[in-house]
């Protein structure tokens, strides 16, 4: 493994629990893999094109097997670039908060943009959907104020974990290890224990990933 792509989805900079856990994971990985290249996509800073107009038309053109107009082709080039950046990575790390039961809209936006026919999946009426990205290690760190280890938190379900698992597998990034960091609010001892548990899990994952292609 030489290149890790870190997709960051918390806008909270230094205060972010998912960000802190991700930094610890990267540090652990680097001790096993000195020289590891870490590339970042901060979904709050990245230029993610609105998924409407010619870009949306391009997706439907692809699905219908029709040629692009020049405008559609231009919009599609930006998408090819995003998918190529994702596909170039040997391993993918996503760090994200849970927002309103699921993930922040900017991360959903990114996933919508890279989930494209002919680039990251294809459909054939005979065989159904086939993911096109090659499998690789994927780790997703999910920070939440709630504790979902025993099921819903105060009646709120965790829709982020099943969504991420399915959406990533749909494009070929199957078998993601999803590491919860939660609760991130409430009694300090509970918050500390959750962070510690995630840290132990992430250290073990770093060791496993580093050894996978050693």
Ligand X SMILES: Cc1cc2nc3c(=O)[nH]c(=O)nc-3n(C[C@H](O)[C@H](O)[C@H](O)COP(=O)(O)O)c2cc1C
Report the interface residues with ligand X, using CB under 6 A: 10, 12, 16-19, 97-101, 143-146, 153, 156, 184
Shortest reach from residue 187's CB to ligand X, in Å: 15
Q: What are the distances in angstroms from CA 165 to CA 55, 57, 60, 92, 170? A: 26, 28, 25, 13, 9
Residue 46 or residue 57: which is nearer to ligand X going by CB?
A: 46
- Beta-strand ranges (E) seen in the chain are 3-8, 37-42, 91-97, 121-124, 128-131, 138-143, 177-181
Shortest reach from residue 135's CB to ligand X, in Å: 27
Shortest reach from residue 106's CB to ligand X, in Å: 12
Q: Measured between alpha carbons, how far is 137 from 214 in angstroms, rounded to an integer?
A: 14
Residue 96 or residue 120: which is nearer to ligand X going by CB?
A: 96
Residue 143 or residue 205: which is nearer to ligand X going by CB?
A: 143
Q: Give the distance, in angstroms, between the CA of residue 172 and the centroid of all CA atoms in the same chain.
A: 12
Q: Measured between alpha carbons, how far is 157 from 61 in angstroms, rounded to an integer?
A: 37
Shortest reach from residue 54's CB to ligand X, in Å: 31
Residue 153 or residue 199: which is nearer to ligand X going by CB?
A: 153
């Amino acid at each position: 493994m030489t290149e890790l792509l870190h997709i960051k989805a918390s806008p909270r900079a230094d205060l972010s629990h998912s960000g802190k856990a991700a930094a610890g994971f990267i540090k652990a990985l680097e001790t096993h893999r000195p020289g590891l290249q870490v590339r970042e996509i901060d979904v709050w800073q990245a230029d993610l094109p609105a998924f409407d107009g010619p870009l949306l038309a391009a997706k439907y053109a692809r699905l219908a097997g029709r040629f692009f107009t020049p405008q559609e082709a231009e919009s599609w080039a930006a998408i090819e670039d995003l998918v190529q950046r994702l596909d170039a990575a040997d391993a993918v790390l996503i760090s994200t908060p849970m927002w309103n039961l699921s993930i922040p809209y900017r991360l959903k936006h990114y996933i919508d943009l890279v989930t494209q026919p002919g680039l990251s999946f294809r459909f054939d009426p005979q065989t159904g959907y086939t993911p096109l990205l090659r499998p690789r290690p994927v780790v997703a760190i999910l920070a939440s104020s709630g504790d979902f280890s025993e099921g819903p938190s105060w009646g709120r379900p965790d829709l982020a974990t099943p969504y991420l698992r399915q959406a990533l597998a749909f494009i070929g990034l199957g078998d993601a290890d999803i590491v919860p960091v939660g609760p991130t609010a409430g009694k300090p001892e509970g918050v500390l224990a959750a962070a510690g548990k995630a840290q132990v899990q992430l250290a073990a994952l770093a060791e496993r990933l580093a050894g996978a292609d050693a």
